Structure 1
Amino acid sequence: MSRTRIAIAVSAAAVLITAAACAPQPENTAGSAASGSPDCAANSPALHRRGELTVATDSPAYAPWFEDNNPSNGKGFESAVAYAVAGKLGFGRDQVKWVVEPFAHSYAPGAKNFDFDVNQISITPQRAQAVDFSTSYYKANQAILTLDNSKFANAASLEAFKGARIGVQVATTSYQAVLDQLKPAQRPSVFNTTNDEVNALKNGQIDAIVTDLPTVFYLAGSEINQAKIVGQFGYAGGTPEEFGLLLSKGSGYTSCVNKALDALKADGTLAELTSKWLSASANVPELKQ
């Protein structure tokens, strides 16, 4: 889910805690490497527990990020990414230990009981004042959500939405993406909250919602019965939502995690996992004009 918006009330509270608990630090959205050469070995003193890689996520853990609410089974995009990172770092599957960390607590300042947290956590400068982030492991596309009985449910192109009534949330990239990519005959309706646009879809005030793909996954799985994810599309404008692995501020293991992610990007593993778990298995086609 788009944790930036779905959990906005909780996130706002966490930001207040952050502001009160720690003085501002230099902005860092891609992690901070330890001084000198990092010790990335499985018995590194930078680890929460030597000889183990402790990975956190929230509970329940939703599909398609995880499957069966069981992060340790290696199924689902973020579970698969965590084990792929662990492999590049030299850990076997039996050396990966999972712990529960509520989303809003993850980026609060203070000591952590994990090495990294994987939980659809958007990289933001404000959060990075209190924690480290790895480089991005996922950049969210825009996606289109409608009801499964809608005349747009089986649309195979962006052009098919020219006559649709589109809803977007205020202050998001989605508004301009709709204007530039879908080019509807009427301007999109703008809503203050996700709940407002969901209610508008249910009540027939709009034909479809356009938002980032993680939010669409969440809405289709938890908020809207008989929802249909029509497809996804890329948008180069605006600021894309990017997810990073979260580590404690100044972690000596941040640069190690970044090297592992770089290797997964270079050998094509990350692209394969993205396709397998977030496109193919979730049946979200890429829509073109």
Structure 2
Amino acid sequence: MSRTRISLAISAALAFALAAVGCAPQPQSDPAAGSRKALDCTSESSSLHQRGRLTVATDSPAYEPWFSDNKPSNGKGFESAVAYAVAGKLGFERDQVEWVIEPFAHSYAPGAKSFDFDINQISITPQRAKAVDFSTSYYTANQAILTLDGSAFAKATSLGAFKDARIGVQVATTSYQAVLEQIAPTRRPHVFSTTKDEVTALRNGQIDAIVTDLPTVFYLAGAELDNGEIVGQFGYAGGTPEEFGLLLPKNSGYTPCVNRALAALKADGTLARLTRQWLSASANVPELKR
């Protein structure tokens, strides 16, 4: 409307209002306000891969003690239990949780995802975080060394004893870099596609030792090898243990929701209880220094 069509009465009212306001400070506009969305952590959130369901990914086979009987949906094993605990805090019933298979090395590759979060002992690293989101840590893990009873390395008491060893690691894991930085072997680590391939190589004498996270070493020594010997554990990156996080699609609107759920599980003691229940044996392994 042009000024010429504003009535004198309205003009007078406006003038009075302006005079009353004077130089009082005025609210500042927020240019981002229109683009921000309220955080929606419900089971019907548009951020979910499928509304009404929580889609959780992990690799196959799914090893103990992280899972049990290669059945992530049974709620047994540390990561299965954590996934269902997170789901509960987010308001999902058990039958609303759907498990899908996602190979470890594919999980943090750039691109669209077919899950809401992946739980698979995935270490939080700056490089991976360029392509995906990570939750806050749900577990802090040391690396560990597994060999065969009676081998030349079974009684080793330092990382230096493995300087000339043939060491096996799984592809795309932080164990590879941990070996290079903490052990600095004279030979490049042997890289295998799966943990099963590592175990086969150890049995066949192709490698002298396996390096992977400590709980997995416990499983391999107890379930996959009759003569497995856990030599010890060591920290990564200057003595700082690596942290596992739930992996989400990049810029997922559900990342803050997952973090909120994990914070609640830490606060009420659930996460500590699940750690003791499924991973308690880890505390009895000697720590190896250089």
Q: TM-score of the superposition, structure 2-length normalised? A: 0.66
Partner of 2:85: 84
Change (3 A) 1:191 1:88: farther
Deviation digits for residues 261-284 of structure 1 (CA, Å, limit 9, x no counterpart): 11222222222222222233xx66
Q: Which structure has the higher relative contact order (CA within 8 Å, separation 6+)?
A: 1
TM-superposed deviation, 1:244: 1.3
Report 1:168-187 matches (<5 A).
172-173=177-178
Structural RMSD (CA): 3.8
The answer to whether the aligner puts 1:115 opposite 2:116 as a matched pair is yes
How far apart in 2 are the matches of 1:101 and 1:205?
28
Change (3 A) 1:123 1:204: closer
How far apart in 2 are the matches of 1:244 and 1:285?
24
> Does the 8 Å contact 2:133/2:248 carry over to 1?
yes
How far apart in 2 are the matches of 1:245 and 1:146?
30
**3-state DSSP of counterpart to 2:73:** helix
Deviation digits for residues 220-273 of structure 1 (CA, Å, limit 9, x no counterpart): 479866212255465783553222111111111000001111122222222222
The answer to whether the aligner puts 1:104 opposite 2:100 as a matched pair is no
> Does the 8 Å contact 1:233/1:286 carry over to 2?
no
Deviation digits for residues 36-68 of structure 1 (CA, Å, limit 9, x no counterpart): 541111221211222211111111111111111
How far apart in 1 are the matches of 2:76 and 2:285?
22
Change (3 A) 1:220 1:191: farther
> Does the 8 Å contact 2:121/2:245 carry over to 1?
yes
Q: Which moved more, 1:197-206 or 1:141-150?
A: 197-206
The answer to whether the aligner puts 1:193 opposite 2:153 as a matched pair is no
**3-state DSSP of counterpart to 2:100:** strand
TM-superposed deviation, 1:127: 2.1
Partner of 2:126: 125
How far apart in 1 are the matches of 2:122 and 2:212?
16
How far apart in 2 are the matches of 1:117 and 1:102?
10
> Does the 8 Å contact 1:140/1:241 carry over to 2?
yes
Query: 1:193 is aligned with what amino acid?
Result: P
Name structure 2 gaps, 5 residues minimum.
1-34, 169-174, 193-197
Partner of 1:60: 61
**3-state DSSP of counterpart to 2:284:** coil
How far apart in 2 are the matches of 1:135 and 1:163?
30
Partner of 1:73: 74
Identity of aligned residues (%): 66
Query: 2:269 is aligned with what amino acid?
Result: G
Name structure 1 gaps, 5 residues minimum.
1-33, 179-187
Query: 2:188 is aligned with what amino acid?
Result: N
> Does the 8 Å contact 2:202/2:210 carry over to 1?
no
**3-state DSSP of counterpart to 1:161:** coil
Deviation digits for residues 64-107 of structure 1 (CA, Å, limit 9, x no counterpart): 11111100001111101101111111112121111112222222
How far apart in 2 are the matches of 1:109 and 1:151?
42
| Alignment coverage as a number of residue pairs | 239
Change (3 A) 1:231 1:68: same
How far apart in 2 are the matches of 1:267 and 1:67?
25
**3-state DSSP of counterpart to 2:111:** coil
Change (3 A) 1:62 1:221: farther
Q: Which one has the largest radius of gyration? A: 2
Change (3 A) 1:162 1:231: closer
How far apart in 1 are the matches of 2:109 and 2:191?
26
Query: 1:63 is aligned with what amino acid?
Result: E
How far apart in 2 are the matches of 1:56 and 1:205?
31
Query: 2:229 is aligned with what amino acid?
Result: K
Q: TM-score of the superposition, structure 1-length normalised? A: 0.67
Report 1:1-289 matches (<5 A).
35-149=36-150, 161=157, 165-166=161-162, 167=165, 172-173=177-178, 189-194=185-190, 212-213=213-214, 216=217, 220=221, 226-232=227-233, 237-238=238-239, 240-280=241-281, 285-287=284-286
Change (3 A) 1:65 1:163: closer
How far apart in 2 are the matches of 1:125 and 1:163?
26
